[in-house]
Structure 1
Amino acid sequence: MDNKDRPDVTRAEKRQPPGPPVHNCWDACQVRGTAFGLMLERMRDGIVLQDMSARIEWANPACEAMFGWTLREMQGRKPQDFLLPPDKRPGPEAIAAFRFDPERSLFSQLTVTEHIRRDGTRFWNQQSFSIIDMGPKDTDKKVVITCRDVTEQVRNEQRLGTARAELEHAAYHDALTGLANRKRLGDFMQSARVRAEIARGRLGVLQVDIDKFKDINDTFGHAAGDRTLRHVAAALCATISEAELACRTGGDEFLLILPETPSKAALLERAEALQKAIRAPLTIGARGIHVSVSVGASLPDPCEVTDTEALLHMADQALYAAKDQGRDRIVFYDAHLGRRLQAEQLLARDLAKAVTDCEFGIFLQPQLDLTRTCISGFEALLRWHHPIRGILPPAEFLMAAEKNGCLADIDYMSMNLALDALATLRREGFSDLSMSINVSSSILADVNYPGLLDWAMQSRGIPPDRICIEILETTILDQDGLDVMTAVDRLKRLGVRVALDDFGTGYAGLAHMSAFDIDAIKLDRSMIARLEEDPRNRMIVRSIIRLCRLLDVAVVAEGVETGGQLDILRRSQCPMIQGYGLARPMPVSEAIAWMHEMRASPHPPFLGLPESSASDEGPNLRA
């Protein structure tokens, strides 16, 4: 059938003369000046038309601007010849031989390629390839490429990738020493291999603590203390194999987990080798520091059921025995040390009586709003008025309370005492103060907790926005994420604020900020303590404060004790602080008297600092 007899043949096809492909398809398509033509001319994305050999036939103005070449200069050339950077450009023969393959995945996905402009600057080009079939001949097939400069997006993704890798590493490693942290330790101890070694009685544990580390800090300074920590970490790394794990679990405490330890003698031999490596001379400046460590060792008994927590606890008990015996010692856990558990049982009995007899009270520690230079609220800190041992802080009994199932009862008691204290402060005329209340996983798991909290606030006439519930990062890690998220959501619906406590203690805090709807974070005192000596720590703290400001998340710096720390925090625009530098925790009656003193004094003695210079960022703090 002739073309004149085919109804589907357009006039353009009938008019097209035979011969080589037309290079100026813009004119050939007769679209210049039409709405379609104007659209192509004014598109922000670049449009390139190529033949199947990749020779450029036409490009729109956006493409000319993107590449730095005019259409006339590009026509007839292959982009590989001038758009690819020299270090990524194929040879002349490969460029000449190139042809598009319609079956390739190139035509079904976006590609991002690094290209080079005429002026030599490199950029990332996102391209979409499609084929236009204009007739039966090979020369009738054209390739249309849509180009978009995504350099900024690619660079942002690269920066995010780097940050993500750093955060992933930080989530499992200690920032100062590079050793594994508690999160990595937890994962390692739950592995099938470790559990099998415990069952065989062949998992050695060495708990290591630096002797008189506080004296090193006090005598030589915190920089020397950090050097000492890195010195010990290096010795640990030098004595372990890839199958073993070294981690930093606290300020000056370390752990070695040693699979395939055949006997007590072999474990003690490893401990002695470690002590010898740590005793290697450490020189700081012109002075030498003698470093020694106490070591607690434990090995599971294959005849008894021992879990990972018990094994670590055994090593911890042995460590304290080593320190009690004069330090620089190695102690292996045995039945004699096990008798110390009897003391824990006594503590459990005392705790049960304390809950029944309401032997608990709260101390209040003020929080200073640096923006307004005023006290914005208090944190309620639980204390046990033990009839024999005196006033005990939570660290003395909370672990035992959790083990014995009375932690939730203590939490509810603490909640009511804190709300009573705030109600008393409000009656004294301090109605603008807030109260921060610590909660445990036990109380968060109670579905009745939000309702009881709501009733307790209403019965005292306390607005919900005056209450901030503080949740430890460890609470989030130890609980199922969905349960904690639900608990936080229930609290938020009440109108109370939620803060993430002890932020920056080695867990994946940034991930928690994105996963949970929190109102504030509390920078852990361990980060604040190193502000003046550790530039990297300062940069991290400033970055966290800046990020929280962008996310509209409040920041409270805990453990502020020196003027230098406060000055750094003020210049970093940290909105709120608390710590011994402001005031120690005090009974409610003393807190009320303290507030009256602050109100009466024209110059509140915050940290005893002189008035800040005008060049500082943030508000001045009066002496």
Structure 2
Amino acid sequence: MAFGTGNQIRTAGRFIRSVFLGPQLAAFLPAVMLGAYWFGGEGVLLVAAVILPALIAFAGLASRGLDLRSPRDSVTGLPGRDHLVRHLDITARATGGNDSQARVGLVIEIDNFRGLQGMYGESGAEAILRQTSERIAGVMRRDDLIASLGNGRFGIAMEKTPRVDLETMIRLSTRLQEAIAAPFSIDGARILVTACVGFALPGRVPDQTGDAYLAAAESALAEAQRSGPASIRAFTRAMRPRVSVPDALTKEVVRALEDGQIRPWFQPQISTDTGALTGFEALARWEHPEKGRIAPGAFLPAIARAGLFERLGEVILFNALTAIREWDRAGLEVPTVAVNFSPDELRNPELFDKLRWELDRFDLAPERLTIEVLEDVVAKSDDDVVTRNIAALSKLGCPIDLDDFGTGHASIANIRRFNVNRIKIDRSFVTRVDTDRDQQNMVAAILTMAERLGLATLGEGVESHGEHAMLSQLGCSHVQGYSIAKPMPFEETGAWIIENQRRICDHPRLPRQAG
């Protein structure tokens, strides 16, 4: 009761201040000034003219309270993480986890935001952030708090609502995703993005604190991101806690590399003509013995800080070649495995000799190892060592894949110079290609260019059967993505290969679109 009485007193005090000192007092200023002159003459009029506007301005500033004391994001103008935590903390304690009264924590993050930064530059990324914040505000109510959490992530504290349940939150999350999915226009370019959403219902959060609410929502977001782009997840107590990325993680990453905790998982690539497996891509994954699976975005920055990209490359390469040997021994047909090579590795003058030695050691033909190089590396490379390494590996017989095609502005001359065998069409062009005519036209143009240059093509990030079917009709020869299979540890690949071979018998050939 004491708490309720205190709240009532504070509410009454704010009402009185708003009435007697609020900005609406400006409407009565002429009458006040006339009364001051009538009863007190010029001296009183002068005092009133100075004091009253100052009081009004002060009241306006005071009414904003915490907002002025909280730093704002320079791009979106939104308050930051600390403000959101304090807001959630106050309201969580006030409602005591009552679902019918509590405000809800929700976190939404633009998928592959760092990739958008690389593709459209800082100015383009900032424009996307500003427009995204406006779209979120357009969906939420005026009293809901929206905060910027950095790197394309936004936090939301919903004001008290009469009904907070799972279905309501899923519908709201879907509306937010739909708002963000509308095309952006940046410098004449039409950009399509997706976003993942995580939220925490009050009754499921173990501790009634702002930190606990936000941590729960971010754990749900991490689970959504593990499920693929444009996913939505609600927090459950069975979820792993959110993993932070302090600098102290660097030493742990070093140990993880040496102890075998970081190893490749394999994502299939298949033919759009037959459905047959045409290769795997080896992707670095960390299975922590206590924290569980840690996403690449969490540990790769620590690897970069420690200068361990070359060591990571050695670990991935060794495990990938070992996998090929084991598949061969089991009688499973895997034509090739694609391994990503970082700029640090490509700048190593001894890279060619090292790879040739590894292939000889495993007694594998060079065509079994596909070298994946980011388009950005090819587009900007003035390094003779990089050029020499890629050219030498191509001459040796290793296929060269140009990854994230469409994001790095590689010229046709560079594609020729690096002897590229296949271009991987970035998922930003693949997203909703089955329903968006502009996407279809863009992909068709890329495929026409590739055909004229004699290059194979692979669509990355294929998330739906519709996208798969449309890419096949347009003439894309290979696809890779969650609609085919998620990345999997080596131990699960054998069963997947066998099952895929069984499906091929009933796999209908998809008609290609006429020229």
TM-score (norm 2): 0.55
| 1:392 counterpart (294, 303, 306) | 294
| Shift, 1:226, TM fit | 4.3
Q: Is 464-473 or 389-398 further displaced after alignment?
A: 389-398
Name whichever structure is richer in helix by fraction.
2
1:355 aligns with 2:257: yes
Does the CA-based 8 Å contact 2:267-2:486 persist in structure 1?
yes
**Taking structure 1 as reference, are residues 398 and 250 closer, same or farther at Cα in structure 2, changes over 3 Å only?**
farther
Q: Report the equivalent of 2:306.
A: 404
**Taking structure 1 as reference, are residues 432 and 384 closer, same or farther at Cα in structure 2, changes over 3 Å only?**
closer
Q: Report the equivalent of 2:371.
A: 469
What does 1:598-617 align with in structure 2 at a 5 Å threshold? Answer: 598-601=500-503, 603=505, 611=508, 616-617=512-513
What does 1:174-193 align with in structure 2 at a 5 Å threshold? Answer: 182=118, 185=121
Instruction: Report the residue type matching 1:563 in the other structure.
Output: H
Does the CA-based 8 Å contact 1:519-1:554 persist in structure 2?
yes
**Taking structure 1 as reference, are residues 591 and 542 closer, same or farther at Cα in structure 2, changes over 3 Å only?**
same
| Shift, 1:465, TM fit | 1.2
Does the CA-based 8 Å contact 1:411-1:443 persist in structure 2?
yes
1:227 aligns with 2:194: no
| Shift, 1:593, TM fit | 1.8
| Shift, 1:580, TM fit | 1.1
Distance in 1 separating the partners of 2:352 and 2:415: 21
Q: Report the equivalent of 1:594.
A: 496
Percent sequence identity is: 26
Distance in 2 separating the partners of 1:463 and 1:508: 32
**Taking structure 1 as reference, are residues 210 and 348 closer, same or farther at Cα in structure 2, changes over 3 Å only?**
closer
Distance in 2 separating the partners of 1:418 and 1:601: 25
1:415 aligns with 2:370: no
**Taking structure 1 as reference, are residues 212 and 464 closer, same or farther at Cα in structure 2, changes over 3 Å only?**
same
Q: Report the equivalent of 2:200.
A: none
Instruction: Report the residue type matching 1:576 in the other structure.
Output: H
**Taking structure 1 as reference, are residues 536 and 184 closer, same or farther at Cα in structure 2, changes over 3 Å only?**
closer
| 1:379 counterpart (281, 285, 291) | 281
Distance in 1 separating the partners of 2:314 and 2:121: 32
1:536 aligns with 2:491: no
| 2:455 counterpart (542, 549, 553) | 553
**Taking structure 1 as reference, are residues 478 and 580 closer, same or farther at Cα in structure 2, changes over 3 Å only?**
same
Instruction: Report the residue type matching 2:386 in the other structure.
Output: V
Work out the number of aligned pairs and report it: 323
1:508 aligns with 2:409: yes
**Taking structure 1 as reference, are residues 533 and 510 closer, same or farther at Cα in structure 2, changes over 3 Å only?**
farther
Distance in 1 separating the partners of 2:432 and 2:173: 14
Please give the secondary structure, in 1, of the residue aligned with 2:475.
coil
Distance in 2 separating the partners of 1:387 and 1:602: 37
Note the alpha carbon deviations across 1:220-249, whole angstroms, 9 max, x for none: 59875443745xx69xx9xxxxxxxxx999
Q: Report the equivalent of 1:492.
A: 394
Distance in 2 separating the partners of 1:490 and 1:405: 25
Distance in 2 separating the partners of 1:186 and 1:532: 30
| 1:571 counterpart (473, 484, 488) | 473
**Taking structure 1 as reference, are residues 387 and 479 closer, same or farther at Cα in structure 2, changes over 3 Å only?**
farther
| Shift, 1:568, TM fit | 1.0
Note the alpha carbon deviations across 1:100-159, whole angstroms, 9 max, x for none: xxxxxxxxxxxxxxxxxxxxxxxxxxxxxxxxxxxxxxxxxxxxxxxxxxxxxxxxxxxx
| Shift, 1:423, TM fit | 1.0
Does the CA-based 8 Å contact 2:369-2:399 persist in structure 1?
yes
Note the alpha carbon deviations across 1:207-226, whole angstroms, 9 max, x for none: 68475899899735987544
Does the CA-based 8 Å contact 1:382-1:414 persist in structure 2?
yes
What does 1:250-269 align with in structure 2 at a 5 Å threshold? Answer: 251=193
| 2:332 counterpart (430, 438, 463) | 430
TM-score (norm 1): 0.46
What does 1:46-445 align with in structure 2 at a 5 Å threshold? Answer: 182=118, 185=121, 209=152, 211=154, 219=174, 224-227=179-182, 229-230=184-185, 251=193, 343-431=245-333, 433-445=335-347
Q: Report the equivalent of 1:194.
A: none
Distance in 1 separating the partners of 2:313 and 2:456: 24
Please give the secondary structure, in 1, of the residue aligned with 2:285.
strand
**Taking structure 1 as reference, are residues 395 and 475 closer, same or farther at Cα in structure 2, changes over 3 Å only?**
farther
**Taking structure 1 as reference, are residues 583 and 451 closer, same or farther at Cα in structure 2, changes over 3 Å only?**
same
Distance in 1 separating the partners of 2:498 and 2:151: 48
**Taking structure 1 as reference, are residues 442 and 552 closer, same or farther at Cα in structure 2, changes over 3 Å only?**
same
- CA RMSD, aligned part only? 4.1
Distance in 2 separating the partners of 1:212 and 1:187: 22
**Taking structure 1 as reference, are residues 221 and 612 closer, same or farther at Cα in structure 2, changes over 3 Å only?**
farther
Distance in 2 separating the partners of 1:250 and 1:396: 25
**Taking structure 1 as reference, are residues 209 and 438 closer, same or farther at Cα in structure 2, changes over 3 Å only?**
closer
Distance in 1 separating the partners of 2:326 and 2:477: 26
Note the alpha carbon deviations across 1:374-420, whole angstroms, 9 max, x for none: 11111111111222222223222122211211110011110010010
| Shift, 1:527, TM fit | 1.6
Does the CA-based 8 Å contact 1:223-1:533 persist in structure 2?
no
Please give the secondary structure, in 1, of the residue aligned with 2:287.
strand
**Taking structure 1 as reference, are residues 208 and 462 closer, same or farther at Cα in structure 2, changes over 3 Å only?**
closer
| Shift, 1:463, TM fit | 0.9
Note the alpha carbon deviations across 1:25-62, whole angstroms, 9 max, x for none: xxxxxxxxxxxxxxxxxxxxxxxxxxxxxxxxxxxxxx
**Taking structure 1 as reference, are residues 386 and 468 closer, same or farther at Cα in structure 2, changes over 3 Å only?**
same
Does the CA-based 8 Å contact 1:440-1:471 persist in structure 2?
yes
Please give the secondary structure, in 1, of the residue aligned with 2:400.
strand
Does the CA-based 8 Å contact 2:399-2:421 persist in structure 1?
yes
| Shift, 1:515, TM fit | 4.5
Distance in 2 separating the partners of 1:560 and 1:376: 16
Distance in 2 separating the partners of 1:248 and 1:531: 13
Distance in 2 separating the partners of 1:526 and 1:183: 10
| Shift, 1:538, TM fit | 1.2
Q: Is 458-467 or 206-215 further displaced after alignment?
A: 206-215
Distance in 2 separating the partners of 1:356 and 1:216: 45
Structure 2 stretches lacking a partner, 5+ long: 1-115, 125-147, 157-168, 196-213, 219-243
1:454 aligns with 2:375: no
Instruction: Report the residue type matching 1:359 in the other structure.
Output: Q
**Taking structure 1 as reference, are residues 358 and 248 closer, same or farther at Cα in structure 2, changes over 3 Å only?**
farther
| Shift, 1:518, TM fit | 0.8
Distance in 1 separating the partners of 2:181 and 2:172: 9
Please give the secondary structure, in 1, of the residue aligned with 2:273.
coil
| Shift, 1:431, TM fit | 4.3
Instruction: Report the residue type matching 2:263 in the other structure.
Output: G
Structure 1 stretches lacking a partner, 5+ long: 1-179, 189-204, 238-246, 254-319, 325-341, 619-623
Does the CA-based 8 Å contact 2:264-2:283 persist in structure 1?
yes
Distance in 1 separating the partners of 2:177 and 2:435: 7
Instruction: Report the residue type matching 1:416 in the other structure.
Output: F
**Taking structure 1 as reference, are residues 352 and 223 closer, same or farther at Cα in structure 2, changes over 3 Å only?**
closer
Does the CA-based 8 Å contact 1:527-1:537 persist in structure 2?
yes
Distance in 2 separating the partners of 1:612 and 1:419: 32
